[in-house]
A and B are shown apart, each in its own frame.
Chain A
Amino acid sequence: MTERQVVEERVRAAFRAVADLPVSEGEVSGRGRGSLRPTRELLAIAAVVLLVAGAIGLLVAFGPRSASRHHNGGLTPAVSTTAPTTTMVVPTTRTLQLAFQPFTSAGTLSSRYHVRNTDSGTCQSGSQGGPGTYRCFGTKGGVYDPCFAAPGVTTGPLYCPVDPAYIEVDRFDTESLPPPTSHGQPGVWAMQLIGGQQCLFVAAAWSGLGPFECNEQLPPTQVPGYPVTPTYPAVADCRTPVAGVPYWTTTCQTSLTDSAPFTAYEVAVVWDTTGTQVQAAECKTNQLAVEPVSQQGALGTEGTILRFRSTSGLPCVMEGFPGLALLDASASDMKYSVARGGGMLTAMNDPVHLVLLEPDQTTEFMIEWPGNPQGTSPCPSVASLLVTPPDNTSSVRVPTEIAPCGNGVAVSPVGIEIYP
């Protein structure tokens, strides 16, 4: 029996032992919101809850958007038992205002976005995203807000970002789309805090707290200029951010208890539709250096970490996956397949973060592959890596000494947690 099988057996035994503990009968005296009781009482509770929910827009929190945040680990603290050696590069000088523009000039969805779910129903003009955005209601009760339509379309589809990283969107089909409103209060509908949390407007999430709900706590390491404390920055619900110079600020609760105090946080990025956005330029290959960081390996998986360094003296943003080719000593492509995500050594499937690189700052990504299964015969040696930064077409060649077994590797997005 392998070491892993021993662990699995012990896990099974522990779960069995917990499962064998008695379970009480169904009549449970309710704490908090209520207990399941027969007929009229249950219906009364449900009616009150639904009325309250409708009044404060709670449906948004229970709709597909909420589920999508769960999907992205949004409500799951990605806290490792070991301290990640991650980088989340954050700005040190100002808050960026960004617009969400997922469409090509032809009005189709840009190829960099992935459609996660598809729904259909009706949409109304105006939403938290401000003029030109939509709130859509799915046939099964889901609420999507904000959703974006390509200019001039009258039937959809609309695309509703799953999180502020925007790599994933939900597609929403509707037969008739009302004209976009030009009025309304433009508002911030997503933000990224200085510590890396991404927060999405969800109206009255969490029993009236909010209106922004943030995803997981990111490790405090390498946040320039900020003291590292055990609690930094544990964020739950945040209030609407307030514009300021040089930073926008928001206040967030440090936990999801009603009595938790609000603490001020600086905002790295806001997304809105005011038309006054300062769109930071995407990092171009010629303003980046690619540097090897370290080699890693665990339980039959090996990997190497590299980082992009901003060399241009100007801030730029990047998100998503680097392109990659593995070259031999004669600089020929060794034809490894390259998968985006799916690795074992990193939280490769956690949210793709927008990374802002201030001058001389770095952000890391990882390449990994299965270790040598036999442990004897050597695997092919790779002489260099041809790395293409996200959303670029030109590449940088980086010498390396890796020897991946098999015929494929996986690459992580930039700015992601990497576990030692």
Chain B
Amino acid sequence: MEGGTLTGRPPGVDVADLFRRRRPEMVRLARMMTGSMAVAEEVVQDAFLRIHERQGDVGNPDAYLRMTVVNLCRNHRRRLGLERRLAPDERIVLTNPEVDETWKLLTELPFRQRAVLALRFYSDLSEAEIAEALGCRLGTVKSSLHRGLETLRRKMS
């Protein structure tokens, strides 16, 4: 992204500035949710494009951006069946065996559980903030968090 001037953008939300500030973090978050470097970048591009399409009328841009990224990750997973169709060389492999094993287990979780874990343990969001980002109830976050950790615990033991 160069220059950062988006002609015609509405007052109040500087999409270019938002792009510069938040893109790396959003790519990382999308990577955790999709399990793919390439898809993560595409998803984040799409999210910024949507914010621009809405002419910046998004209330809290940071929260809206995060919610859009999460939703697009979810859609991408459904649309492409990425969990099963990713070529092996597109999968993220980590050098530390234990960390890589944990990551592999994380990628096997249902999307919502993985998304909740990523927002909780990577983004450090509160459960209420996660509920907002996922567009679900607080109770759903709690149960997804519980079930995700319990599945991991069972598979690790």
A411 on interface, CB distance cutoff 8 Å: no
The smallest beta-carbon distance between A226 and chain B, in angstroms, is 23
> Binary interface profile of B, 146-157, with partner A (CB < 8 Å = 1, else 0)?
110111110011
Contact in complex: B57, A7 (CB < 8 Å): no
Which stretch in A71-79, A89-97, A271-279 binds the other chain?
A71-79
B23 interface neighbour in A26, A50, A82, A236, Cβ under 8 Å? A26
Which stretch in A14-22, A143-151, A307-315, A394-402 binds the other chain?
A14-22
Contact in complex: A73, B136 (CB < 8 Å): yes
B1 on interface, CB distance cutoff 8 Å: yes
The smallest beta-carbon distance between B59 and chain A, in angstroms, is 8
* Chain B residue, CB-CB nearest to A75: B74
Complex CA distance for A28 and B41, rounded to whole angstroms? 7
CB proximity to A under 8 Å, residues B5-47: 5-8, 19-20, 23-24, 27-28, 31-32, 37-38, 41-42, 45-46
In terms of DSSP, what is the predominant structure of the interface of chain A? loop
CB proximity to B under 8 Å, residues A56-104: 62, 67-68, 70-73, 75-82
Given contacts A19-B122, A38-B2, contact A257 B147 (CB under 8 A): no
Q: Which residues of B contact A8 (CB under 8 A)?
A: 121, 149
Complex CA distance for A406 and B99, rounded to whole angstroms? 38
Summed over the interface, the residue pairs from A and B with CB atoms below 8 Å come to a total of 190
* Chain A residue, CB-CB nearest to B16: A38
Q: Which residues of A contact B140 (CB under 8 A)?
A: 73, 347, 349-350
Contact in complex: A27, B1 (CB < 8 Å): yes
Contact in complex: A80, B103 (CB < 8 Å): no
A183 on interface, CB distance cutoff 8 Å: no
CB proximity to B under 8 Å, residues A303-358: 341-344, 346-350
Q: Which residues of B contact A34 (CB under 8 A)?
A: 45-46, 49
CB proximity to B under 8 Å, residues A371-404: none
Contact in complex: A11, B7 (CB < 8 Å): no
CB proximity to A under 8 Å, residues B39-74: 41-42, 45-46, 48-50, 52-54, 57, 71, 74
Contact in complex: B143, A349 (CB < 8 Å): yes
Q: Which residues of A contact B125 (CB under 8 A)?
A: none
Given contacts A76-B111, A299-B150, contact A206 B6 (CB under 8 A): no
Contact in complex: A14, B99 (CB < 8 Å): yes
Contact in complex: A42, B52 (CB < 8 Å): yes
Contact in complex: A43, B8 (CB < 8 Å): yes
The smallest beta-carbon distance between A404 and chain B, in angstroms, is 18
Contact in complex: B135, A15 (CB < 8 Å): no
Complex CA distance for A140 and B20, rounded to whole angstroms? 26
A293 on interface, CB distance cutoff 8 Å: no
Q: Which residues of A contact B108 (CB under 8 A)?
A: 81
Contact in complex: B94, A38 (CB < 8 Å): no
Contact in complex: A255, B28 (CB < 8 Å): no
Q: Which residues of A contact B111 (CB under 8 A)?
A: 76-77
Q: Which residues of A contact B157 (CB under 8 A)?
A: 3
Complex CA distance for A347 and B142, rounded to whole angstroms? 10
Contact in complex: A23, B27 (CB < 8 Å): yes
* Chain B residue, CB-CB nearest to A30: B45
Complex CA distance for A140 and B59, rounded to whole angstroms? 10
Given contacts A15-B121, A39-B5, contact A23 B45 (CB under 8 A): no
Contact in complex: A11, B57 (CB < 8 Å): no
A281 on interface, CB distance cutoff 8 Å: no
B130 on interface, CB distance cutoff 8 Å: no
- A–B complex contacts, Cβ < 8 Å, 28 sampled: A7-B153, A11-B121, A13-B98, A14-B103, A14-B106, A15-B122, A17-B99, A19-B32, A21-B37, A28-B41, A28-B45, A34-B46, A34-B49, A36-B1, A36-B19, A38-B2, A39-B5, A39-B6, A43-B7, A70-B74, A72-B136, A75-B71, A75-B74, A75-B75, A76-B74, A78-B112, A81-B151, A140-B57
A residues contacting B by CB (< 8 A) are 3-4, 7-8, 10-19, 21, 23-28, 30-36, 38-40, 42-43, 45-46, 49-50, 62, 67-68, 70-73, 75-82, 140-141, 206, 236, 255-257, 298-299, 341-344, 346-350, 419
B residues contacting A by CB (< 8 A) are 1-3, 5-8, 19-20, 23-24, 27-28, 31-32, 37-38, 41-42, 45-46, 48-50, 52-54, 57, 71, 74-75, 78-81, 92, 94, 96, 98-100, 102-103, 106, 108-112, 117-118, 121-122, 134-137, 139-140, 142-143, 146-147, 149-153, 156-157
| Complex A-B, nearest 10 residue pairs according to Cβ-Cβ distance, in ascending order | A26-B1, A256-B79, A15-B122, A342-B139, A14-B102, A349-B140, A14-B103, A349-B139, A19-B28, A70-B135
